Amino acid sequence: MITLHIQLEEIEPPIVRELQVNGDLSLADLHTAIQLAFGWREQHLHLFVDAQDPRRATRHWGDPYQLDELDPTGFRPEAEVSIAAAVDGGPIWYEYDFGDGWTHRITASAQATAIGELRPVTLVGGQRRGPIEDSGGAWGYTEKLAILADPDHPEHAEIAEWVAEVTGPWFPPTPETFDVAAIQAELDDYFGYRADERDPLDLSGLLVADDLHGPDDLAPDALLADFASGLPAGIRSEFRQYVRRTGLLDPVDVSPEVRAQLVAPFAWLLDAVGPDGLTLTQAGWLPPAVVRGGMTTLGWHEPRIGSSTREQSTPPIRNLRDAATRLGLVRKLRGRLVRTGHGHRAAAGTDALWDALTSRILHALSPGAQVAGAALLTTYADGRAAPNAWADERWRDVAYALDVCGWEPRGEGDDRFDRGSIGGITLPVKFVLNSLGSTVGATGWPPPHALDPHLADFARAVLHGPAGIRSGSTTRYR
């Protein structure tokens, strides 16, 4: 085994990785290891050279498919050269993104005894996350970090917007972030360490083999794994690290009391409808006494809403009914609101209703809206603080997910998803989320409002439950 000290040049504080590698691995393997260890997305050309100034290098190793672009003298395919042979004569350099000019100095120490089991690549240590792609090299990245740290800088808002757009929601959150376990998991996944412990058919990289699957492991049909499988490879790596960093793989254990609190609004509606159905007004609305009773029972009554007797002007009840209808729990039938078969089964008790809501939240949505709904659920499941509705930036996570999965806005001429378009796409799922919880203020009527503090538990239960999304298609959103 060889220990490699890899440091980005011309940047302070230093960004460093210490890798212990099998010297028989090729430089092509080292290229991938560096990409994973530093969090690069493999969006640009690269080259290994034996001199700090590539113009003075006598040996060049790279991808032969880049020969037309590079065409240096003394070039050898990186897949044909071992790491041990390349570093035998002293340090080498890894050049990535010839425009930004990211130079990694690679220094090898003497042969070492492997740490623990014989992993092909082991991350021994390091400092700080890797830079942002296309940030302008060492100078540009450093300048952008300084602007981000200064809210009074005239370019702060512009740079913050750019960073949010380029990095996406799953990028390591701060320059100091360095998650050894998550990066090591990515290295293990690529280099096949303990490959027999993982599901060989899984694209997500989150599932263990069937014969080793335990009760606390993510189920093969879990929505979280299905969503991850539809992401591009480089982004999928970031998503997996985000999932591990935020504990989204931890077992879901929601107490009976919390379940009852969350499903209470839907339980009230199913009870109000009853086994024989509920007669609607001539205009098709819930009777005023029922609307008022629901707002009072659930602790939702608020003076700003008014008398809370007319469904059409009482958003919490109207949205609750819309959500229950879309989930297939109730439907209109000859002037009455009646339970469906799903509704009858869900009305049997808290656990039955919980299972119905967590398994059917993406029901009757288009494939694109299902991807959007899954992305939205991660923003609740990761435990981030519930923002004031006016400052809710969750839509950015959803827009990013749709974009990287190849979806496009529906409107002709629209080339980007914005807050409005994402709001429309995710509205059906938000109707469900905003209707959960019976504590005062925990509902989705006009802001400001406070979402139920246990929504993270619900969202995680959905993500760990059966999937039903198709996330990889490239098409216009419908």
| CATH assignment at residue 93 | 3.10.290.30
pLDDT digits (tens, 9 = 90+) for 409-456: 987 567 889 999 999 999 999 999 999 986 544 444 433 345 677 899
Question: Does 466 fall in a domain?
Answer: no
**Which residues, given as ranges, of the chain have pLDDT below 70?**
67-73, 110-117, 386-391, 412-413, 438-451, 468-478
Place of tokens 């040996």: 59
Question: Does 420 fall in a domain?
Answer: no
> In whole angstroms, how far apart are CA 78 and each of 5, 40, 74, 343?
19, 18, 12, 61
Contact 383, 456 (CB under 8 A): yes
Question: Does 478 fall in a domain?
Answer: no
Of 81, 103, 130, which one is at a domain's C-terminal end? 130
Strand 92-96 and strand 121-127: the pairing is: unpaired
Q: What is the pLDDT of residue 467?
A: 80
Within a 10 A sphere around the Cβ of 454, how many other Cβ atoms? 19
Question: Does 450 fall in a domain?
Answer: no
Question: Does 198 fall in a domain?
Answer: no
- Residue-wise DSSP of 307-333: SS--GGG-HHHHHHHHHHHHTTSEEEE
CA angle 179, 183, 188 (to 5 degrees): 145
Per the structure block, which two tokens stand in for 349?
A: 């008790």
Q: What is the pLDDT of residue 138?
A: 96
| Structure letter (DSSP) for residue 333 | E
Q: How many residues does the structure list for the chain?
A: 478
The whole domain housing 104 covers 2-130
CATH number, domain with residue 350:
1.10.10
Q: What is the pLDDT of residue 113?
A: 66
pLDDT digits (tens, 9 = 90+) for 350-392: 999 999 999 999 999 999 999 999 999 999 999 887 655 556 7
Helix, strand, or coil (residue 242): helix
Question: Does 189 fall in a domain?
Answer: no
Of 298, 327, 356, which one is at a domain's C-terminal end? 356
Q: Which residues contact 110 (CB under 8 A, 6 or more apart)?
A: none
Residue 111, strand partner residues:
2
Terminal Cα distance for the chain, rounded: 53
Of 331, 356, 381, which one is at a domain's C-terminal end? 356
Please tell me the pTM assigned to this model: 0.88
Question: Does 239 fall in a domain?
Answer: no
Residue 4, strand partner residues:
19, 108
Question: Does 221 fall in a domain?
Answer: no
Helix, strand, or coil (residue 126): strand
- Tally of structural domains, the chain: 2
